[in-house]
């Protein structure tokens, strides 16, 4: 093979080099274009396909029109909380952050439990060195809504947080957040409140109006389940979050968030320092005009998508020594002296009755009431008395560990307390330890008691009365010994003189210490077994003893059509019956009729169906119905709350039962196949339990603690109308069964 000339070889080398250079240039250009595209691609921060958009926080001049006059209700004049700037973003955002951009190809949003959306993921700020970030969800069962048409009702635990105006009714929502995980004294660097829209079926975006969010101290409404609409609506709100929302800001699956400015952050920190354990968020909407009702996700209930309210706190490191807790005021009430005799008791009762009829009943005792005792029974009472007198605090000293294991345990316990609640407050330098004093031993018999009284009297006459205890004395509580009941028999004739002398001395000692004996009745009564039914207005001794009967298979005919229930009328739980034919109360001396009636309540009259309570797949008790004809079982109740106390209607086609889905115990009715569910009772905190149908199926008897706080028998029509108390008594009456 011939070789190329030198000049041709040089040209070939140059050509190859040129091609290599061009290839490298093209490769570099392609790589640069690829990197540029990657830098311009948006980063998704939510789990849905939609990309978040960021809305800049408006200035004071750009705030949306609220539709109400400033200042907002419950906001002190001069307080202004503008949105702060979220660290790490230029220009600051958060009036309305991360609204999801709708995807035209995505299916319509649904609120059914079977179509739950994936919970939205939010930005989480990075804590500063030594700090932490707390993501606080709403407390279970303490997020819900109220409506102006319900005087006592609430809807805590519901999936929706309604706020707005609809059908001439005002709706408001409230959420309680737990602050116990926040260390006392830790500064707040950033605080964000987030809500996610859930339902706009009753929302009219063209109706206008404004929605505002306010912060209330958790101490303002201590018991949210017992609060009614007026209590929530009228509660004073020291902080309002801006901006307010208008109709354009509200949409299903859209995220609304608010940043707390420095003033709101300081207020929240001070709440924790003062010992407040929670904060309440109140949502107010339009209170009139056109129908416009919007709902956010509560985070619980069957329709929730899992996007419940969140409060995210970015905290700095807590101080080594927490600030001192604020001193809470309390009211000291002195107990009235124990009446000396029965005449004083009667006089006190007559006086109280006269005062109630002429002036009115006494003001209910406040929650911060304390009752002093002559000698403190615990450290808290000793502390209270010391504070009242301006004396040094009483603190129990930590004993020296007896061994290495105890010392290790005490160190681990202190570490756990520091992690959970922060370091312990230092003990004041002038604190003293309490003196534990054992009470005087109870005399074993009346002779010893008499001897002690005589000795104490002689000692007081000779040496004077004892020196009063110092304020740091704590009287130890001795668990009393409860003696077994004794059967008294007649006193026999002494068999000798010594016995007669002893009995005379004992009788004298009793007379000295407690007074003379109560004379025995002159007619002796021989106890006999009680009959099954005893009318309380006709209690007479039974002259002849009767044998205790064996429980029969069916209830006596005399009991059918009457109402059987439990009561503590004789200081112990007994069974009673209301004889509706003569309106008289009957004492049922045996328990088998109640047990038999209770079993009958859970069976249909035909015997085909049997109701029972059994846990569902997530461990929540639910009502089930067994069909004995086809040997099948069906769960007919659902939800996150317990369902129990099932009772069949006389026709056997409906069941009354109790459910805790509304947040407290309420009565519902439902078909045996699980259809046509209807709620009959609506309360804020009260209990409605143990429903039982009348024999004709037109009424339902149940027990409730509404109005009085005591368990009382109530009755209503089968559709829930005409609810009224059946027996108003000073006793506890519960678990009624209408015998059929």
Higher pLDDT, 345 or 325: 345
Asked whether residue 58 carries a pLDDT value surpassing 50, the answer given is no
CA angle, residues 611, 612, 615, in degrees to nearest 5: 140
Quick count: other Cβ atoms within 10 Å of Cβ 479?
5
- Pairwise CA distance, residues 311 & 281, whole Å: 10
Of 40-44, 274-278, 417-421, 662-666, which gets the smallest average pLDDT?
A: 40-44
Q: Is 318 left (phi over 0), alpha (psi -120 to 50) or beta?
A: beta
Higher pLDDT, 624 or 469: 624
Q: How many CA atoms lie within 13 A of 581 on its CB side?
A: 6
Q: What average pLDDT does the segment 359-363 reach?
A: 75
Contact 641, 649 (CB under 8 A): no
- Pairwise CA distance, residues 381 & 373, whole Å: 8
Which pLDDT band holds residue 733 (cuts at 50, 70, 90)? very high
Higher pLDDT, 335 or 616: 616
- The helix or strand, by DSSP H or E, that contains position 39, with its residue range, turns out to be helix 6-40
Quick count: other Cβ atoms within 10 Å of Cβ 581?
9
Asked whether residue 161 carries a pLDDT value surpassing 50, the answer given is yes
Average pLDDT over the chain, rounded to whole?
77
Nearest to 47 by CA among 145, 94, 116, 131: 116
Asked whether residue 612 carries a pLDDT value surpassing 80, the answer given is yes
Q: Which pLDDT belongs to residue 721?
A: 95
Q: What average pLDDT does the segment 311-331 reach?
A: 80
Which pLDDT band holds residue 547 (cuts at 50, 70, 90)? very low
Q: What are 382-404's pLDDT values in tens digits? A: 777 777 777 777 776 666 777 88
Q: What are 474-485's pLDDT values in tens digits? A: 666 655 545 444
Contacts of residue 42, defined as CB under 8 A and 6 or more positions apart, other chains included, come to 51
CA distances from 66 to 4, 229, 281, 631, 734 (A): 90, 23, 19, 61, 51
Contact 110, 271 (CB under 8 A): no
Sheet holding 632-635, edge to edge: 609-615, 621-627, 632-635
| Residue located via tokens 């002398």 | 501
Q: Which pLDDT belongs to residue 54?
A: 31
- Pairwise CA distance, residues 254 & 272, whole Å: 31
Which pLDDT band holds residue 74 (cuts at 50, 70, 90)? very low
Considering 392-401, 499-508, 511-520, the range whose residues carry the highest mean pLDDT is 499-508
Query: Which residue spans within 265-402 are E strands per DSSP?
Result: 278-284, 292-297, 310-315, 331-332, 369-370
Asked whether residue 576 carries a pLDDT value surpassing 60, the answer given is yes
Of 357-366, 621-630, 659-668, which gets the smallest average pLDDT?
A: 357-366
- Pairwise CA distance, residues 335 & 648, whole Å: 50
Asked whether residue 112 carries a pLDDT value surpassing 60, the answer given is no
Tokens standing for 701? 């008897």
Quick count: other Cβ atoms within 10 Å of Cβ 326?
11
Domains of the chain, residue spans: 52-64+77-100+119-315, 376-398+406-436, 534-542+549-738
Burial 115-129, CB ≥16 within 10 A → b, else e: eebebbebbebebbe
Tokens standing for 208? 């206008």
Q: What are 192-243's pLDDT values in tens digits? A: 999 999 999 999 989 889 999 999 999 999 888 888 999 999 999 999 998 8
Asked whether residue 34 carries a pLDDT value surpassing 70, the answer given is no
Chain centroid offset of residue 437 CA: 38
pTM: 0.40
CATH number of 534-542+549-738: 2.40.128
If you compute the radius of gyration of the chain from its CA atoms, what whole number of angstroms results? 37
Which pLDDT band holds residue 676 (cuts at 50, 70, 90)? very high
Contacts of residue 41, defined as CB under 8 A and 6 or more positions apart, other chains included, come to none
Contacts of residue 701, defined as CB under 8 A and 6 or more positions apart, other chains included, come to 563, 691, 692, 694, 713, 714, 715, 726, 736, 738
When the candidates are 2.60.40, 1.10.3470, 1.10.10, 2.60.120, the CATH number that belongs to 52-64+77-100+119-315 is 2.60.120
| Residue located via tokens 């006459």 | 461
Q: Which pLDDT belongs to residue 525?
A: 46
């Amino acid at each position: 093979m011939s070789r190329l000339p030198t000049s041709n070889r040089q040209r070939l080398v140059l050509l190859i080099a040129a091609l290599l250079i061009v290839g490298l240039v093209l490769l570099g250009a392609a790589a640069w274009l690829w990197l540029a595209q990657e830098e311009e691609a948006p980063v998704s921060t939510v789990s849905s396909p939609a990309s978040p958009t960021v809305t800049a926080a408006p200035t004071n001049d750009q705030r949306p029109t609220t539709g109400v006059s400033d200042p907002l209700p419950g906001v002190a004049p001069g307080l202004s909380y503008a949105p702060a700037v979220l660290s790490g973003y230029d220009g600051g955002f958060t009036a309305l952050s991360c609204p999801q951009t709708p995807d035209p190809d995505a299916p319509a949003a649904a609120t059914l439990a079977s179509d739950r959306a994936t919970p939205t993921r939010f930005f989480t700020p990075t804590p500063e060195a030594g700090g932490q970030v707390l993501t606080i969800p709403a407390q279970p069962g303490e997020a819900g809504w109220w409506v102006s048409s319900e005087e006592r009702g609430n809807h805590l635990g519901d999936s929706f947080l309604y706020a707005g105006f609809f059908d001439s009714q005002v709706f408001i929502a409230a959420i309680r957040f737990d602050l116990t995980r926040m260390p006392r004294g830790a500064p707040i660097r950033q605080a964000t409140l987030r809500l996610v829209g859930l339902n706009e079926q009753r929302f009219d975006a063209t109706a206008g109006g404004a929605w505002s969010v306010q912060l209330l101290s958790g101490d303002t409404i201590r018991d949210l389940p017992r609060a009614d609409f007026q209590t929530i609506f009228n509660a004073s709100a020291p902080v309002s979050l801006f901006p307010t929302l208008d109709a354009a800001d509200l949409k299903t699956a859209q995220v609304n968030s608010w940043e707390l400015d420095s003033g709101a952050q300081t207020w929240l920190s001070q709440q924790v320092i003062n010992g407040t354990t929670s904060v309440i968020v109140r949502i107010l909407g339009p209170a009139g005009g056109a129908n416009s009702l919007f709902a956010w996700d509560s985070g619980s209930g069957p329709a929730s998508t899992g996007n419940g309210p969140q409060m995210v706190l970015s905290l700095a490191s807590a101080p080594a020594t927490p600030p001192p807790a604020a001193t809470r005021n309390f009211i000291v009430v002195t107990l009235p002296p124990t009446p000396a005799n029965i005449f004083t008791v009667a006089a006190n009762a007559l006086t109280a009755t006269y005062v109630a009829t002429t002036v009115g009943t006494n003001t209910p005792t406040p929650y911060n009431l304390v009752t002093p005792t002559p000698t403190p029974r615990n450290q808290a009472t000793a502390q209270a008395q010391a504070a009242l007198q301006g004396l040094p605090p009483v603190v129990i000293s930590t004993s020296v560990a007896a061994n290495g294991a105890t010392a290790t345990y005490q160190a681990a316990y202190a570490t756990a307390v520091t992690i959970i609640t922060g370091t312990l407050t230092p003990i004041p330098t002038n604190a003293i330890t309490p003196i534990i004093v054992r009470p005087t031993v109870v005399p074993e018999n009346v002779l010893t008691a008499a001897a002690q009284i005589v000795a104490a009297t002689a000692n007081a006459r000779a040496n004077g009365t004892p020196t009063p205890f110092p304020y740091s004395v704590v009287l130890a509580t001795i668990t009393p010994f409860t003696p077994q009941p004794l059967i008294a028999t007649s006193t026999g004739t002494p068999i000798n003189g010594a016995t007669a002398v002893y009995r005379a001395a004992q009788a004298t000692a009793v007379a000295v210490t407690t007074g003379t004996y109560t004379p025995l009745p002159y007619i002796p009564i021989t106890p006999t077994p009680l009959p099954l039914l005893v009318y309380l207005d006709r209690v007479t001794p039974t002259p002849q003893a009767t044998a205790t009967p064996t429980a029969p298979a069916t209830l006596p005919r005399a009991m059918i059509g009457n109402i059987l229930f439990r009561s503590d009328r004789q200081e112990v739980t007994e069974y009673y019956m209301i004889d509706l034919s003569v309106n008289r109360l009957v004492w049922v001396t045996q328990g088998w009729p109640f047990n038999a009636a209770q079993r009958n309540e859970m069976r249909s009259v035909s015997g085909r169906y049997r109701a029972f309570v059994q846990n569902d797949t997530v461990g929540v008790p639910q009502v089930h119905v067994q069909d004995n004809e086809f040997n099948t079982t069906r769960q007919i109740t659902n939800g996150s709350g317990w369902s129990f106390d099932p009772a069949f209607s006389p026709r056997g086609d409906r069941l009354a039962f109790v459910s805790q889905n509304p947040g407290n115990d309420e009565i519902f009715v439902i078909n045996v196949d699980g259809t046509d569910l209807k709620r009959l009772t609506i309360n804020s905190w009260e209990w409605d339990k143990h429903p039982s149908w009348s024999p004709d199926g037109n009424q339902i008897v149940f027990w409730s603690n509404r109005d009085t706080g005591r368990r009382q028998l109530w009755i209503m029509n089968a559709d829930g109308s005409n609810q009224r108390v059946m027996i108003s008594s000073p006793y506890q009456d519960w678990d009624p069964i209408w015998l059929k």
